[in-house]
Amino acid sequence: MSKPSQLRSLYRSLLRELPPKPLPSSSSRVRSPLHQQLRQSFSSDPPHEHVVAQADQLVQYLKAQRQYTTLLERYNPGMGMDEEERVRLSARRVGMDLPVEYEKQGKHS
């Protein structure tokens, strides 16, 4: 069986890896359904070994996902940009500016 300190550490690791949830201004102690379910799983006396093993795997998975997202954002900085902005920044990277596009402003010849 797992020691209470190990279970507490695992529970806290899970909470740390979960995405932050903004707190509503009316109540400061509102828990999400996921948080409630995790708390209930860990508070059963004693928690089943398969619950502990699944929680450990989940912590490892969430850490790997967070690291993957961090690396993806670091090495693909233009991932969230539209095509025009990406082309403009690529041109700036090599020391060029894109030409200003010509627009007729209501003049008829």
pTM above 0.95, yes or no: no
User: Do 79 and 73 touch, CB atoms closer than 8 A?
Assistant: yes
Is 108 part of a structural domain of the chain? no
Q: Of 62, 65, 84, 85, whose CA–CA distance to 73 is shortest?
A: 65
The CA-CA-CA angle for residues 67, 71, 74, to 5°, reads 140
Is 104 part of a structural domain of the chain? no
Domain that holds residue 37: 4-19+31-93
Number of domains observed in the structure of the chain: 1
Is 35 part of a structural domain of the chain? yes
Is 25 part of a structural domain of the chain? no
- pLDDT for position 65: 93
Tell the burial category of 29 from Cβ atoms under 10 Å away from its Cβ (0-12, 13-18, 19+).
Answer: exposed
Non-local CB neighbours of 100 within 8 Å, separated by 6+ positions: none
Is 62 part of a structural domain of the chain? yes
Is 105 part of a structural domain of the chain? no
- pLDDT for position 73: 87
Top-confidence residue, 106 or 14: 14
Render pLDDT for 49-100 as a digit per residue (tens, 0 to 9): 887 888 899 899 999 999 999 999 888 877 788 888 888 888 888 998 888 8
- pLDDT for position 59: 92
Render pLDDT for 17-41 as a digit per residue (tens, 0 to 9): 887 766 665 555 566 788 888 788 7
